[in-house]
Structure 1
Amino acid sequence: MSGDIYFYLQVAFWALVFLLALCYGIFPVTLPFVSELFKRRRRDIDKNFGLPTVSLLISAYNEEGVIERKIHNILEIDYPKEKLEVLIGDDGSADRTAEIIARYADQGITLVKAPKNAGKAAMLNRLQKIAKGDILVFCDANTMFFPNVVRKLVAPFEDRKIGCTCGHLILSDKSGSVLGQGESSYWDLESEIKKFEGILDRLIGGNGALYAIRRELYTELPVKKSVMDDFFITTKILQKGSFCTFVSSAIGTEQTSKESIGEFRRKVRIGRANFNYLWSYLPLLNPFRPLLAYLFFSHKFLRWFSPHIIILMFILNALLLPCGMVYCVSFALMLLIALLCVTKVVPSGYYFMTMNLALLKGFFLSFCREKSGGWAREARTDE
């Protein structure tokens, strides 16, 4: 190859190194400083804000193992009963989920039963149309709340500019699997990132286990392909000009997947769902909203394309081996890191590898036709 070609290959290689470093190093390390520099200084406070009416929405599918415990958890929520509506949608479960929910009709729990499994997005659209509360709180059947969660989630809405609040999900792992340990550690880092994005009131994506929005800001979820409802809904709120914040004191707890393969399948579904609607998230890269564009690009966009970046880095590095010792060392280093990940010597490295493999598989699956809008459920360590 000519000298010019090697020059361009080197430029491309180091550009990819920088992008990967930005995503996993520069961005999280500098985020605390960015959040302090650019946090919102002015708030549009509603002085007449009291406790708003709230609708708690849950889409459940084959959750007989946890749904009764979840209902008891809801009944212990510290919020005026006359202002709290609870809607639990049974999405065509094949077990006793609907039967268990129906037992609590006289305690304010409303069962909304779908004739067949149409998927979480379709059920949430249905529940939202029925809901009467000013604030919609979304959560999963296996997420257990602290009693004050709803009060904590609705408090920031006294600021008229806040359109979404996201609570703090704490994951615990009882499986002892390498993936479970890795997921728990990963989520700790993700929660730290959310905390600082929350200071900026520009949280990039909520968490489906625990978030709230103003009812009028709900965007109907697409149902033709799988979608991450929490990410889709909250990013649409940002695109509409409202803010999303993080409430670290609004705490929910959840168990990791029971088996490693279950966690991998879940990551594939998440990756596929995000790539399915990537085009609809691209307005977040609007250069006229530079802070929001920087957060989305660094936190999500680069992470979704990390496997592509890593593969291209490996190929370019192999082509650049004749260009000097630095490329021989970097190539050897990449091989060593890959070996450590594959052999599970470094649990977090193994999780990082499997997460990126799942993203890559999800990327290719996003070009395929999906059979239905239904969902598959993974067993958890609390069952």
Structure 2
Amino acid sequence: MLADFLLYLSLFLIWFMLFYHMFLMQGGYLHAQSYRKTAEKYLSQMKEYPTVSILIPAHNEEVVIENTLKSMVRLNYPKDKLEVIVINDNSSDDTGNIVEGFANMYPYIKVIHTKPPLGGKGKSGALNTGLKHSTGEFIVVYDADNTPEPDAVTQLASGLMNDQKAGAVVGKFRVTNGSKNLLTRLINIETITFQWLAQAGRWFWFKLSTIPGTNFAIRRSILEKLGGWDEKALSEDTELSFRVYNLGYHIRFFPSAVTWEQEPEMIKVWWKQRTRWARGNEYVIFKYLLNFKDLNNKKVGLDLIYFLFTYLLFFGGVMISHSIFILNIFFDLNLSMGAVSYVLLVLGFLLFVTEVALALSFEKDQLTLKNAVIILFMYFTYSQLWLLLVVYATYLEAKRVLLKQEVTWYKTQRFKEKETSENRSA
């Protein structure tokens, strides 16, 4: 029967992803045990410091930009080798004046003011503008709500200096407002799991990881060869990752470089941000899947499959299984698996809980009783909300392609915070 076929298909997709995540988590655990030794070795071998340009795209960031620039001042990196370029991208608030104040005090901090028609088009355009005005051998990117730890840039630079096959080095990010409310606690758990499972696991086994939107360093020569960032991509970071792979480089996950960032505190802000991420990643999937035969580095296929499963096949499998479960309550679908399918779903849930709990155990003071309860709650709420979001994002992206609509950028709303040190101790 059709219902049986769809149920088998959905369970295969779900369990394929669950087993793959188990495999990745093993790699994440092994990387967590070894990366500190590598970081210490790299720092000891760093005889000279390369020139570094930090790019900070900023559109209406008056709420957070001051703390970000204070963290730039605190960086333990030779200031004669450092330039911090803030791209004040068509802001209508006090962002420009705040940055100008820092630029007047610190000669290594610069500000570029952009206006339409070139300015105000999104993060990729702002980064490309900053790249043209930069001089550093390495380019580091931070979002305007980020407060990197003092050694973060040194760690990123040491990764590139000591690993010539690395086109980019990706650091770890933590959440400053993780204890603000239930939503930020869920996001905090999500980000920790993503980094130790997906980033660390893929790096350990395949020498693959995805460039995030912040806290990464990339060789200037690579950006120039690639022509900068793709201004049509809503997930410019993921898109750039695939082009770096295709040049034959790997992207190193280097969790010793740590930044702290703000996450959405309201569900509507989260929804808009994550919708942009999902649409952007779907754009990347189809851009490279349709042109796979033209790619020089076929290893890219591993990550294409991962993103394809994550955003389409896995979510599709879960949606099918949920639909069959609900329909079977009201109509007898004569399923041959019967109770076995329910056992598999329960086991899948327990595996989900185990994987998330393991990821939290890699971070100090994160595997708490409160977080353990939230993980149970997370599966039935936050994870299910992701399903609806991906469906919505797929609809929007399909409509954009069919109607040839122009890409519009949504900037995540920021929230006023106390000093970063207070947030980290919360």
Normalised-by-shorter TM-score class: 0.7 to 0.9
Decide which of 50, 53, 72 is 1:52's aligned counterpart: 50
The corresponding residue for 1:348 is 378
Match of 2:338 in 1: 325
Q: Name the amino acid aligned to 2:74.
A: E
Deviation string 1:111-141 (CA, Å, 9 cap, x unpaired) is 1111131111111111112211110001111
What's the CA shift for 1:366?
0.9
Q: Match for 1:22 among 3, 19, 24?
A: 19
Question: What amino acid maps onto 1:84 in structure 2?
Answer: L
Contact 1:163 1:243 in 2 (8 A): yes
Please give the secondary structure, in 2, of the residue aligned with 1:163. Answer: strand
Mapped contact 1:185–1:348 kept (Cα < 8 A): no
3-state SS of paired residue (2:110) = strand
Quote the residue 1:272 is aligned against: 279
Distance change in 2, residues 1:332/1:275 (3 Å):
closer
Residues 1:153 and 1:356: Cα distance change in structure 2 (over 3 Å)? same
Structure 2 counterpart SS, 1:198: helix
The Cα shift of 1:229 comes to 1.9
Q: Per the alignment, in what secondary structure is the counterpart of residue 367 of structure 1?
A: helix
Alignment-mate amino acid for residue 64 of structure 2: V
* Mapped pair 1:191 → 2:195: yes
Q: Please tell me the residue identity of whatever aligns with 2:215.
A: L
The one-letter code sitting in structure 1 at the alignment partner of 2:305 is F
Structure 2 residue aligned with 1:312: 320
* Match in the other structure for 1:122: 125
Shift of 1:295: 5.0
Match of 2:27 in 1: 31
Tell me the distance in 2 between the aligned counterparts of 1:295 and 1:278.
9
* 1:321 CA drift (Å): 3.4
Pairwise CA distance, 1:284: 7.7
- The aligned length equals 364
Q: TM-score by structure 1 length?
A: 0.82
Contact 1:90 1:98 in 2 (8 A): yes
String of CA shifts for 1:336-359, please: whole Å, max 9, x gaps: 99xxxxxx9943121111222222
User: Alpha-carbon deviation of 1:200?
Assistant: 4.7
2:208 is the counterpart of 1:208:
no
**Is this contact kept in 1: 2:141–2:217, CA < 8 A?**
yes
1:94 to partner: Cα distance = 1.1
The one-letter code sitting in structure 2 at the alignment partner of 1:168 is: K
Within 5 Å, which residues of 2 pair with 1:124-143? 124-143=127-146
> How big is each residue's C-alpha offset from its partner over 1:134-185, in whole Å with a ceiling of 9 and x where there is no partner?
1000111111011111110011222221111011101143564333221111
CA shift in 2, pair 1:34/1:291, >3 Å = farther
Length-normalised TM-score, structure 2: 0.75
* Alignment check: 8 A CA contact 2:174 2:258 kept: yes
SS in 2 for 1:169: strand
Q: Distance in 2 between matches of 1:48 and 1:377?
A: 37
| 1:110 corresponds to | 110
Map of 1:164 onto structure 2: 168
After superposition, the Cα gap between the structure-2 partners of 1:313 and 1:154, relative to the gap in structure 1 and judged at 3 Å, is: same
- Bigger shift: 230-239 or 52-61? 230-239
Native 8 Å contact 2:187 2:263 kept in 1 = yes
Q: Deviations over 1:59-80 (max 9, x none)?
A: 0011111112211111111111
Q: 1:55 touches 1:86 (CA, 8 Å); kept in 2?
A: yes
Q: Do the aligned residues in 2 keep the contact of 1:144 with 1:254 (CA within 8 Å)?
A: yes
Root mean square deviation of aligned Cα = 3.6
**Counterpart AA for 1:52:** P
Separation in 2, partners of 1:331, 1:192 = 25
Identify which range, 230-239 or 201-210, moves more after superposition: 201-210
Matched, 1:376 2:411: yes
The answer as to whether partners of 2:138 and 2:157 remain within 8 angstroms in 1 is yes
Q: How far apart, CA to CA, are the structure 1 residues paired with 2:274 and 2:173?
A: 17
Q: Does 2:261 align with 1:261?
A: no
Residue segments in structure 1 that go unaligned for 5+ positions in a row = 40-46, 338-343
Matched residue SS, 1:51:
coil
Q: What is the deviation of 1:81?
A: 1.2
Instruction: Name the structure with the higher helix share.
Output: 2
The answer to which of 191-200 and 266-275 deviates more is 191-200
Query: Are the equivalent residues in 2 in contact too, given 1:77–1:150 (CA < 8 A)?
Result: yes
Report how far residue 265 of structure 1 moved.
1.6
Alignment of 1:77-92 (within 5 A): 77-92=75-90
Provide the secondary structure at the position in 1 that maps to 2:281.
helix
Amino acid at match of 1:144: T
Counterpart of 1:358 in structure 2 is 389
Residue matched to 1:341: none
CA distance in 2, matches of 1:54, 1:165: 13
> What is the rounded CA distance, in whole Å, between the counterparts of 1:345 and 1:243 in structure 2?
33
CA distance in 2, matches of 1:277, 1:182: 26
Q: Is the 8 A contact 1:256 1:381 kept in 2?
A: no
> 1:155 matched to which residue of 2?
158
d(CA) in 1 for partners of 2:399 and 2:96?
Answer: 33
Report the 3-state secondary structure (helix = DSSP H, G, I; strand = E; otherwise coil) of the residue aligned with 2:171: strand
| Percentage of identical aligned residues | 20
